[in-house]
Amino acid sequence: MDAPKNNKFPLVVIVGGGFGGIELAKHLAKEPVEILLLDKHNYHTFPPLLYQVATGSLECESIAFSLRKNFEGQKNLRFRVAEVTGVNVENNYLETTIGEIAYDYLVLATGSTTNFFGNKDFEHYTMPMKTIPEALNLRYMFLQNLEQAVIAHTPEEREPYLNFVMVGAGPTGVELAGSFAELRNYVLNKDYPELKKEDMKVYLVDFLPKVLGPMSEQASEKAKKYLEDMGVNVLLNVKVESYDGTNLKFADGRVIRTKNVVWSAGVAGIVPNGISKDILVRGNRIKTDEINRVAGTSNIFAIGDVGAIITEATPNGYPGVAQVAIQQGKQLAKNLASIVKGESTEPFKYKDLGSMATIGRNKAVADLGKLKFGGFFAWLIWMFVHLISLLGFRNKVVTFINWLGSYVSYNGGTRLIIRRYVREALPDVAEANQLPKTD
Ligand SMILES: Cc1cc2nc3c(=O)[nH]c(=O)nc-3n(C[C@H](O)[C@H](O)[C@H](O)COP(=O)(O)OP(=O)(O)OC[C@H]3O[C@@H](n4cnc5c(N)ncnc54)[C@H](O)[C@@H]3O)c2cc1C
């Protein structure tokens, strides 16, 4: 078994080096505990800028940061690259890709993944964008499709390669739609002189009546107007019914022929096996009490996207946003220290710092408490907040220089196909034909 314990202090195993996990680990640095941080990647990801990686405006290294480097010098912490596959709740150990790991306290900070609501065709044919590898897949796929559009013989053949559809009009869908519209407006003619700007169409669709659902009416209306001004077709109150890789069908009978569909319509918590299904709530999140302790357990906690503090005031838990994960990580560090020292704990209280979304160059919308505004000033604040939140000095500088270059040239970023994206064969087809799986 990995990670022998120095028996002096209890061992806190944290699964996930995302926003919640690293905040918790950092705030436990001076407490009488040993920490073992596990993540399936050796880096921390900054998801709010994934869409820029996907659309080729930022290199992926700019939004990732080495977890080992982040905890350099923290004496009570060790890090292992490992994927946790199960929890043995009765006997206090984890099953992982590097073997079994015992814990005294376990914190699940595994975040969330894309929810396709059980539809295998959506899962197979559309592109999710929750991780850096997924953002890169999306980038390679759409660049390959533009190359296909160039060599298509007829407008009919070309059409599906030039239709871009974002399903889900939350921040991810809105930001991606804005970026693809900019690509069409400023880059398409330069990179692909054979293609006409009018032939590339960008759609943002949602079955809800507004974009940016959780934000204010003002933010939602402004964002919709900004998108439409940029040429995005915003289709609301429409339900996507099926997709076969080319024909995206809606419940009202409409069909869009497209090879570029991004699925950002739902999320589901990443819950390891062994956690009782009875305590999973909406969005596959683990029900916890007000100190993030998993229901029915004494030494297991869940924070961030994977946990849901269910109370009368928060019947659905807190929203799945970075600030909730960060603040829960910080508060749980205090509470774990109190538990270890035999002191009393304090319930988590969320301080809503507001929300923002950006729509192409120069425009963003912001709900900051009672202040609700949009436009250039909101965009400047958006850039500042995202720059200071990136981990690592180099990442901040490189990202800033990239943004400056793109702003001045209208043609920033690198749109290179470094690795071909090949969609995995459908499982039954692969089995029947014995095709090798591709990554
Ligand atoms: C595209 C996108 C844009 C977003 N934009 C915003 C935004 O603008 N503002 C905002 O507030 N929020 C935004 N969010 C949401 C925000 O990123 C999440 O709420 C936040 O990351 C949750 O933090 P977390 O610590 O719970 O999980 P995460 O930050 O997702 O971290 C989870 C970690 O767990 C690791 N992990 C998962 N499963 C395992 C396993 N089985 N074993 C080992 N390790 C595992 C992962 O590798 C990851 O490092 C965005 C999310 C996405 C996907």
Record the tokens describing residue 79, joined without a space: 């890090």
- Spacing, Cα 429 to ligand 1 middle (Å): 32
To test ligand 1's pocket by mutation, which of 2, 14, 22, 39 has the most ligand atoms within 8 angstroms of CB? Answer: 39
DSSP string of 212-276, one letter each residue: STTS-HHHHHHHHHHHHHTTEEEE-S--EEEE-SSEEEETTS-EEE-SEEEE-S-EEE---BTS-
Alpha-carbon gap, residue 114 to 128, rounded angstroms: 6
Q: Which is it for strands 232-235 and 201-205: parallel, antiparallel or unpaired? A: parallel
User: In the 8-state DSSP scheme, what is residue 46?
Assistant: -
- pTM for the structure as a whole: 0.94
Cα separations in angstroms, 80 against 8, 97, 292: 21, 10, 24
Ligand 1 nearest-atom number relative to CA 319: 19
Contacts of 4 (CB under 8 A, 6+ apart): none
Q: How far apart are the first and last CA of the chain?
A: 30
CA-based nearest residue to 138, from 211, 55, 246, 258: 55
Q: For residue 429, which amino acid is it?
A: V
Q: Whose CA is nearest to atom 12 of ligand 1?
A: 321
221-258 pLDDT tens trace: 999 999 999 999 999 999 999 999 999 999 999 999 99
List pocket residues of ligand 1, CB cut-off 6 Å: 15-21, 38-41, 45, 47-48, 50, 83-84, 109-111, 129-130, 171-172, 270, 272, 304-306, 320-323, 325
Tens-level pLDDT at each residue, the chain (439 residues)? 555 566 789 999 999 999 999 999 999 999 999 999 999 999 999 999 999 999 999 999 999 999 999 999 999 999 999 999 999 999 999 999 999 999 999 999 999 999 999 999 999 999 999 999 999 999 999 999 999 999 999 999 999 999 999 999 999 999 999 999 999 999 999 999 999 999 999 999 999 999 999 899 999 999 999 999 999 999 999 999 999 999 999 999 999 999 999 999 999 999 999 999 999 999 999 999 999 999 999 999 999 999 999 999 999 999 999 999 999 999 999 999 999 999 999 999 999 999 999 998 889 999 999 999 999 999 999 999 999 999 999 999 999 999 998 888 877 788 999 999 998 876 664 454 444 444 4
Ligand 1 nearest-atom number relative to CA 272: 41
Helix ranges restricted to H, 357-416: 376-389, 393-409
What is the CB-side half-sphere exposure of residue 119 using CA atoms within 13 A? 16
What is the CB-side half-sphere exposure of residue 62 using CA atoms within 13 A? 23
- Spacing, Cα 2 to ligand 1 middle (Å): 26
Q: Specify the DSSP element, H or E, that contains 325.
A: helix 322-341
Q: For residue 147, which amino acid is it?
A: E
- Spacing, Cα 49 to ligand 1 middle (Å): 12
Ligand 1 nearest-atom number relative to CA 85: 41
